[in-house]
A = this chain, B = another copy of it.
């Protein structure tokens, strides 16, 4: 539901930002303002001047923080419809790296503030979006703080499955655009532990793996058991 619930609110937001009132270059068409990125390219780095907000149009973006000694924590994976780089600080608080060739639509850094100030009818959608991001981050706190490695992996796969559901894609066939290292840094594990737990799920017949980038969920019930924590939504 986490990322899924974001998707619920993203469609209207894209529309909001595309409105000429808040467009970065009012005279230019939305088509013209698209920016393309190649795999592993960074959109921005933590600490850079926050001059733009981005909407993910195509591809997947990995948002993360790093410590001074190089440890990395992935904050979220952003799929088409997501917003990137918003905040109330004048610097980016995170780094953003595209995982596969991606297309983003940049807006001025103040576009969201403008909406809030000038379009109260649309500000509500924006607030819902930010609150959904907050709820997702807080769900992830529970996963990082209190789940075992196998529970983390299962929860991650279920998250992707629900996201597929929201996008009307097959919830049992998951594409993994991110590496084992990205998954490890998202779940607070090492790549070895991620790999071992994928293997465990595979040998127990719960999932099937194809060329490391495709996961097929064979037994959804047992996957949910493995994730353990009831993620029932109210």
Distance A9 CA – B88 CA, assembled complex (angstroms): 11
Query: With A67-B228, A142-B65, A142-B67 as given contacts, are A87 and B135 in contact (CB-CB < 8 Å)?
Result: yes
Query: With A87-B135, A120-B116 as given contacts, are A146 and B47 in contact (CB-CB < 8 Å)?
Result: no
Distance A61 CA – B75 CA, assembled complex (angstroms): 26
Query: With A47-B234, A118-B120 as given contacts, are A86 and B131 in contact (CB-CB < 8 Å)?
Result: yes
Q: In the complex the two chains form, is A141's CB within 8 Å of B142's CB?
A: no
**Chain B residues within 8 Å of A94, by CB:** 138
- Chain A 99-135 residues near chain B, CB threshold 8 A: 112-113, 116-121, 123-124, 126-128, 130-135
A12 on the interface (CB 8 Å rule)? Answer: no
A137 on the interface (CB 8 Å rule)? Answer: yes
A113, A133, A228, A234 interface centre (most CB from chain B within 10 Å): A234
Complex partner residue of A145 from B118, B135, B188, CB under 8 angstroms: B188
- Chain A 170-198 residues near chain B, CB threshold 8 A: 185, 187-188
- Chain A 67-104 residues near chain B, CB threshold 8 A: 67-69, 71-73, 75, 86-94
Q: In the complex the two chains form, is B89's CB within 8 Å of A135's CB?
A: yes
Distance A144 CA – B188 CA, assembled complex (angstroms): 8
- Tell me how many residues of A have a C-beta within 8 Å of chain B: 56
Complex partner residue of A146 from B72, B112, B116, CB under 8 angstroms: B72
A118, A120, A233 interface centre (most CB from chain B within 10 Å): A120
Q: How far is the CB of A99 from chain B (nearest CB, A)?
A: 19
Q: How far is the CB of A35 from chain B (nearest CB, A)?
A: 23
A229 on the interface (CB 8 Å rule)? Answer: yes
In the complex, besides A123-B123, A123-B127, 5 extra interface pairs with C-beta distance below 8 angstroms are A46-B234, A67-B142, A73-B145, A75-B138, A137-B137
